[in-house]
Amino acid sequence: MIVNSTDLKNNLGKFLRDCLKEDVIITNNGRKIAVLRAHTEDSDYFNAVIDDGAVSEQEAEAFNLEEKRMTYEQFLQFSADTQRRYEYIDGVVYLLTSPGTAHQKALGELYVIFYNLLKGKKCTPLLAPYDITLRKSLNNINVVQPDLVVICDLEEKLNNDDRYMGIPVLAIEIISKSTRSRDTIKKMELYMLTGVSEYWLINPADRDVIVYFFKDKEIAKSETFKKDETLKSFYFPDLQIKLKDIFGA
């Protein structure tokens, strides 16, 4: 059976029953992107899908089409003991893709730059996957995995499980097709409202970087850097990066 993602969203219960009889192939814009298949306790397929950790853009898109709401406690249980990466924003769970080559090359260059800049200093750069827990309010707890964060109170804010529970001074997200909307809207708002000072949005496809500086839960400054320009940080005034060092010549 083949259904499009809109029909699946509107008739999920029906197709869950149908998949007990046959596989339900899900399409989006005419492309086959996922399979809804009945689970059995001895299903090797089910275990492989859950545990292999690799997630394509299409698979993440299919997972995130259907809004999955749960409590913070339910999310912790849901995301425990799996190789897959999830984020939890405003009560909704999002599946993260396995990063592509351009993403990883840019991230590697950035980490080396920050490592050399901050070596021997109080602030520390850390790479994903690394959970950052941010509270908008007492009952609004969020868990995200920025591609890179800079933390200046690491030792002071580690809990007994070796988890960081503070607020990074800088968060960096490298945009992909499946994360663009979330990175530019939901996560920017989250970082701004919870006390992150600076946020970088890096777009390898367009070879540009937008740098936001937050103050008093608002955007105080922002600047876009393109092509062969030199990126400058508001929070770290000594930091200047040629974009070709991030994206390549």
CATH classification at residue 165: 3.90.1570.10
CATH number at residue 16: 3.40.1620.10
Residues 8 and 120 in one domain: no
Segment 123-145 shows an average pLDDT of 97
Q: Which amino acid is at 115?
A: Y
Q: How far is CA 40 from CA 19, 20, 37, 44, 60, in A?
A: 12, 10, 10, 9, 23
Segment 132-145 shows an average pLDDT of 96
- Domain count along the chain: 2
Residues 147 and 238 in one domain: yes
232: pLDDT strictly greater than 70: yes
Residue 184 lies in a domain: yes
| 218: alpha, beta or left? (left if phi > 0; alpha if psi -120 to 50) | beta
Of 135, 130, 136, the C-alpha closest to 150 is 130
Residues 134 and 192 in one domain: yes
- pLDDT value at residue 49: 42
Residues 13 and 108 in one domain: no
Q: How confident is the model at residue 45 (pLDDT cuts 50, 70, 90)?
A: very low
- pLDDT value at residue 58: 84
Q: How confident is the model at residue 33 (pLDDT cuts 50, 70, 90)?
A: low
Residues 113 and 197 in one domain: yes
Structural domain for 120, as ranges: 101-247
Residue 210 lies in a domain: yes
Residues 23 and 110 in one domain: no
Residue 182 lies in a domain: yes
- pLDDT value at residue 43: 42
Residues 29 and 122 in one domain: no
Residue 85 lies in a domain: no
Contact 3, 30 (CB under 8 A): no
